[in-house]
Structure 1
């Protein structure tokens, strides 16, 4: 049996868990802290690193994912978040990111070459990603500061509305055609992100917003943690038209491990078999080609299939790919090669 390739993953919420007091940097280094991502689990599962999300939850309103049940659902979302409140949370998470780097847990990366060099470990290759630009001011000062601190990827929204765009609700069944496109400020932010060579993430953005980004940017379109709407008709998933649009730009979609976005019934509480994940990978490969499919787990932000559980369980998914007839070259592309390639073409280095 050939050795498993290292995994570079498109999305995790470890920094949020730390900022909320659910674990500590020391426990992430030593293990046993109750997170899906930590260094011992990463070494056991071949998790070489990924996009580490910065996300500011609304302190006054928490979304109850247990309501993602029944034949249909539509979870209410918080309103626009105060910019200053969001920035305070994001700064705290950047500080945690830097603390983990100082402890040798993470190796911050701002180039594709840096990711490739870091993937063998022992520290996890780590790219700072902003999930929802709630903390960015109209003059983009915060954006420039975060870029100087290593930010290289950004989504305009996390589902709730921002001054820049509108996200998709946690609604099932539904498409992502749920509202208007980017605001004029949002279009300006896309152009500024392009000037800074910050990768733009379409996950959580509604269809009209995705169309607007496609019209403005010349970079490959990326959806870091999204699945196939044809197999699971959730608003968070991408239609075939959207997948084809991403493919036309040489872009990429990272498979989301969240059960609700995999299962055809949209349930977060029910378990999902690895064969369901393979069906999504098969569909994404059909629409995007072998160079356009990767992984975007949402570890520490979602309930994932029990056969995986956390990053130590990634070999189970690699084994399922082999059992499905995927060749070693394709597996390596899905595990990390396609992320490295699309980021190199986006960042120019």
Structure 2
């Protein structure tokens, strides 16, 4: 069983920056490749730009390097890909996804930044990245940066003064914000300052698995209330706590997270944010993007087909068509 898939988070680009020999078309080093996207019917993949601590002090050039990798090594792979930047692109994709003649001819890609660290506190760099086609910004990774505190920062602070200006810039341009790594204090501050609903691109339910990167019930309710989105993620230790049994995590263990988010009103807010290529262990049976048909078959044993389609792509598409900026005249 195969449904069109939108995945809001993978870390392919940081791997490709570290190794210039990795081929996106079919590289064995990658969870997400062009061939696996076609195999899994992934019609849109969001490529995050992550700056690992091993690279040293975060610099803007590291972001530019990954944009270049996206343009020169990802987009031309296979038969080619299309770059999603605008509301009109999302509307075209939505129309194509409903066509009766099978998978899209070409998949699409879009860009996000995971953590504002690489902008070096320079809002001009942020604006430039928006002009270069970046459409989503995860404000922090796990720790504090110049804009806000991350979810593992013990003081649990909110936004700095410059971070508040970052929110203003996002409100002005249409850059969409992602709270998956943001501190709880920052989360609640952002709910008061944003003019557009935000997303948690790759987080599960904390009530099911008590990991700091998962969302509390109140956070889930807030995202649902603002018409934001939550990307269920395949990080094994966000699905089941480490140490709870020696057997591998199975796809069935995502079901309690889905049930819990839906019990809080999240059926129309749930989407996918795999975190492929950002992990070094995998859910057994969900190791790469070619496995989505198997996951769809599992979910359709428990939920109506129309509901599964929403989680695989419909909810993400409705968000993109509603909140991406329009092309400038």
TM > 0.5: yes
Equivalent positions of 1:58-97 (< 5 A) are: 58-59=53-54, 82=57, 85-97=58-70
Secondary structure in 2 matching 1:9? strand
Work out whether 1:191 is the aligned partner of 2:168: yes
Cα 1:139–1:40 shift into 2, 3 Å: closer
Cα 1:122–1:267 shift into 2, 3 Å: farther
Work out whether 1:136 is the aligned partner of 2:119: yes
- CA contact 2:251–2:284 (8 Å) conserved in 1: no
Task: Provide Cα deviations, 1:129-161, integer angstroms capped at 9, x if missing partner.
Answer: 010011224441111211111110001101121
Aligned-CA RMSD value: 2.2
CA positional deviation for 1:315 = 1.3
Equivalent in the alignment of 2:324: 347
Q: How far apart, CA to CA, are the structure 2 residues paired with 1:267 and 1:20? A: 34
Deviates more, 1:285-294 or 1:206-215: 285-294
Cα 1:23–1:331 shift into 2, 3 Å: farther
- CA contact 2:120–2:146 (8 Å) conserved in 1: no
Q: How far apart, CA to CA, are the structure 2 residues paired with 1:282 and 1:248? A: 18
Work out whether 1:11 is the aligned partner of 2:9: yes
Equivalent positions of 1:1-349 (< 5 A) are: 4-21=2-19, 24=22, 27-29=23-25, 31-59=26-54, 82=57, 85-99=58-72, 100-103=74-77, 104-111=79-86, 112-116=90-94, 120-169=103-152, 179-265=156-242, 271-302=248-279, 303-324=281-302, 326-349=303-326
Equivalent in the alignment of 1:79: none
Cα 1:4–1:299 shift into 2, 3 Å: same
CA positional deviation for 1:234 = 0.5
CA positional deviation for 1:102 = 3.4
CA positional deviation for 1:279 = 1.3
Q: How far apart, CA to CA, are the structure 2 residues paired with 1:163 and 1:337? A: 35
Equivalent in the alignment of 2:100: none
Tell me the TM-score normalised to structure 1 length. Answer: 0.84
CA positional deviation for 1:265 = 4.0
Q: How far apart, CA to CA, are the structure 2 residues paired with 1:259 and 1:279? A: 14
- CA contact 1:200–1:222 (8 Å) conserved in 2: yes
Unaligned runs of 5+ in 2: 98-102
- CA contact 1:101–1:107 (8 Å) conserved in 2: yes
- CA contact 1:48–1:118 (8 Å) conserved in 2: no
Task: Provide Cα deviations, 1:196-255, integer angstroms capped at 9, x if missing partner.
Answer: 111100101010000011000121131010000000000000000110111110111000
Secondary structure in 2 matching 1:186? helix
Tell me the TM-score normalised to structure 2 length. Answer: 0.89
Q: How far apart, CA to CA, are the structure 1 residues paired with 2:110 and 2:246? A: 30
Secondary structure in 1 matching 2:231? strand
- CA contact 2:157–2:186 (8 Å) conserved in 1: yes
Count of residue pairs brought into register by the alignment: 315
Q: How far apart, CA to CA, are the structure 2 residues paired with 1:300 and 1:167? A: 21
Unaligned runs of 5+ in 1: 62-81, 170-175
- CA contact 2:2–2:292 (8 Å) conserved in 1: no
Cα 1:288–1:125 shift into 2, 3 Å: farther
Cα 1:304–1:181 shift into 2, 3 Å: same
